[in-house]
Amino acid sequence: MRPTILDPLFVPITSLAGVGPKVGLLIERVVPADLGDRAARAADLLFVLPNTVIDRRNRPGIALSAEGQIVTLEVRVDRHQPPPRGNRSVPYRVYAHDDTGEVALTFFHAHVAYLQKMLPEGERVVVSGRMEWFNGRPTMVHPDHIAPIDEAEGLPLVEPVYPLTAGLSAKVLRRAIGQALGRLPELPEWQDEAFMRRHTFPSFGDALARIHYPKDPIDVAVEGSAWRRLAYDELLAGQVSLALVRARIRRLSGRPLVGDGSIVEKLRAALPYKLTPSQEFALGEINADLADPERMLRLLQGDVGSGKTVVALLAMARQDLGRGHQ
């Protein structure tokens, strides 16, 4: 039975703000879990993890921004230059400056009312995007982020990049993931405290928060402590689940199989070689399991030609196959 503390994570994603049935179906395409016939839940969103980041911490100023570089600029808007009437092929440009120079913010098929609202003339704003240079003039085509100077703190300076699908924007997905993170309760720690310190593991909740809201690219790197924590949890949870299944199966009664070994001795005498110490060890383990009244769970593993078949043959022979056993 599921602990009630986890109930907030088991709501369908369509119960989150801004996620209707259409958007929910798009998000399900990027959820890594095997959903089967069920709908995606808030918990599934926690594990839609970014595969890289965009580092927007670089603030060199307009004149010192290199070609193709992702930069964040604090500028003052000078003027708007709309395209000639009826000519949609010419972009809409907004000119702005800082202490080092002037930049043209360029928009194709622009929504004029939106740009006038976000980039009012005379106001200071923060823009972030890829800088390009044409004929010695800097330009930024369709900035990724635009914000008034008093809202600049809300810009993601290290922005996670998520897997997407057609029709699903990164902004919508990030907002849904943020809501799912907000539903994550503070869970009791199931790892050993000394082990956590030794491996510099954060808590489960902190690990997810670091990956979805990184402050440095290392937070999203697979070698980072947050990602290693989640990977270790997944590995340990899988092993614990298998151990519980094995324990449950072992509680089911079996039938002891113990013979007198007479057939084994005849087979050993007929072999042109002696078993290796490893073969003898494996055979002893298997015989002990067969003699136990609990069901056996054992896999005999080895390379091709390592001698698995003869071990299996001697294990079967010890049970006196002549008595009708198979």
Shared-domain flag, residues 62 and 146: yes
Shared-domain flag, residues 76 and 137: yes
Residue 256: inside a domain? no
Please give the pLDDT value at position 152.
Answer: 87
Residue 71: inside a domain? yes
Please give the pLDDT value at position 196.
Answer: 94
- The count of domains in the chain is 4
Shared-domain flag, residues 28 and 177: yes
Residue 76: inside a domain? yes
0.75 surpassed by pTM: no
Please give the pLDDT value at position 185.
Answer: 95
Shared-domain flag, residues 235 and 284: no
Q: Residue 64: give its domain's CATH number.
A: 2.40.50.140
pLDDT digits (tens, 9 = 90+) for 76-125: 999 999 999 888 789 999 999 999 999 999 999 989 999 999 999 999 99
Please give the pLDDT value at position 322.
Answer: 52
Shared-domain flag, residues 142 and 73: yes
Residue 233: inside a domain? yes
3-state secondary structure the chain: CCCHHHHHHHCEHHHCCCCCHHHHHHHHCCCCCCCCCCCCEHHHHHCCCCCEEEECCCCCCCCCCCCCCEEEEEEEEEEEECCCCCCCCCCEEEEEEECCEEEEEEECCCCHHHHHHHCCCCCEEEEEEEEEEECCEEEEECCCEEEEHHHHHHCCCEEEECCCCCCCCHHHHHHHHHHHHHCCCCCCCCCCHHHHHHCCCCCHHHHHHHHHCCCCHHHCCCCCHHHHHHHHHHHHHHHHHHHHHHHHHHCCECCCCCCCCHHHHHHHHHCCCCCCHHHHHHHHHHHHHHHCCECCCCCCCCCCCCCHHHHHHHHHHCCCHHHCCC
Shared-domain flag, residues 120 and 239: no
Shared-domain flag, residues 32 and 106: no
List the chain residues with pLDDT less than 70.
Answer: 320-326
Please give the pLDDT value at position 324.
Answer: 60
Range of the domain at 290: 262-323
Please give the pLDDT value at position 248.
Answer: 81
Shared-domain flag, residues 143 and 26: no
